[in-house]
Amino acid sequence: MNKDFILPDIGEGIVECEVIEWKVKEGDLIEEDQIVVDVSTDKAIVEIPSMYNGRVTKLYYQESDTAEVHKPLFAIEVEGELHARQPLEEGNKSESKIESAAEAPASAPVAITGKVLTTPAVRKMAREHSLDLATIPGTGKQGRVLKEDVLAYLNQKVHKQTPTAQLNSIEDRREPIKGVRKIMAERMADSMATIPHFTFIDELDITELISLRADLIKNHGSEEFKITLMPLFIKALSLAINEFPILNSRANSEFTELTYLASHNIGMAVDGKTGLLVPNIKNVQQLRLLDVAREVNRLTEAARSGVINPADLAGGSITISNIGVIGGTAAMPIINKPEVAIVALGKIQKLPRFDANNNVVSRSILTVSWSGDHRVIDGGTIARFNKLWKQYLEQPQTMLLAMLEL
């Protein structure tokens, strides 16, 4: 008897997803926990594993189709029922095939055949420009063709064209707004429409913080374990939340109750290949600084690849957006609803400042831009909260002492 595999909840508020790539075909034997299909949600690419051993009997969607949550994704004949109805000799054949596969040399290379690894958006771009993806070198993981690869290939073609050919090929291009871009647009519009934002901007001197980071790299960093400034910003934020818990709260949808969240699940905006993602580090208040650094590395790598566990995207309580790594000194960030605050970090600048003796010295200056939900917090609260956070970052010894007192 066939069992339908029902597509489970794969993220907070997600009701549908796009089928990216089937890892199996109808008739294939699969094992429990084997990856059956990659799907693209509004936030990331998610790998869907099988719950049973058995044979795939039906795929309900084609690649690029939209699959609905809580609806059948594929059908499987589970192992016990499969063996019960198979003739003995057929079972022996299957066993022989398995034994033959087991006897193959472990060092033998595995050839990946079939279509080029890429995303539906890249395939669509290739179709629009009549490109053969097999002719485009892929720079992604396992040779995956990225959007940047297609654009680079198109740029080469344009340079090879004659001026007349270029003029003849100029035309407007239309593309549907969907996936991460569509959902992000809807959420940002909803946040701006329902939350009265206010902005608070301040300047931080992080010269000493940069020195502390250099010491951490010297004593604990490695090629595999990169230590950025982000773990320090995140840990200092958690320490400040201990004194101002209202920054780590959320209101219910009717705005009749405020919940002070016990867990400091601090999100960080990452510009990934599938769009803007905001994974969050769970329970920062319980983590050591180096543990926070490890989580920053893990989540950043996952978000940039687009393949991330939906649990890492759910349950955030406050967000940091490090827009400064791209450029710009200040911003007006939009609150990640239902959170009540978000802070954007500007780029670090070497600027002249007066020291205690009125001498001009070079300091590392960073501008931070807060947005707050004015229904929950006021300007005075966020100013006092930022003052404490600023103290931890400008005088990192106070942050280290506060960590020891926990």
Q: 205 an active-site residue? A: no
Nearest CA among 15, 44, 42, 277 for reference residue 177: 42
Q: Given the residues 9, 33, 190, 378, select the one marked as catalytic.
A: 378
Helix (H, G, I), strand (E, B) or coil at 262: coil
Nearest CA among 13, 53, 56, 14 for reference residue 37: 56
Q: 378 an active-site residue? A: yes
Q: Given the residues 83, 197, 271, 374, select the one marked as catalytic.
A: 374
Contacts of 391 (CB under 8 A, 6+ apart): 398
The CA-CA-CA angle for residues 323, 210, 268, to 5°, reads 30
- Cβ atoms of 20 and 48 within 8 Å: the answer is no
- Cβ atoms of 14 and 43 within 8 Å: the answer is yes
- Which DSSP letter does residue 307 get? B
**Bridge partners (DSSP) listed for residue 200:** 370
Nearest CA among 174, 157, 177 for reference residue 166: 157
Count of Cβ atoms closer than 10 Å to residue 101 Cβ = 8
Helices (H), 195-288: 207-220, 230-243
Catalytic residues: 374, 378
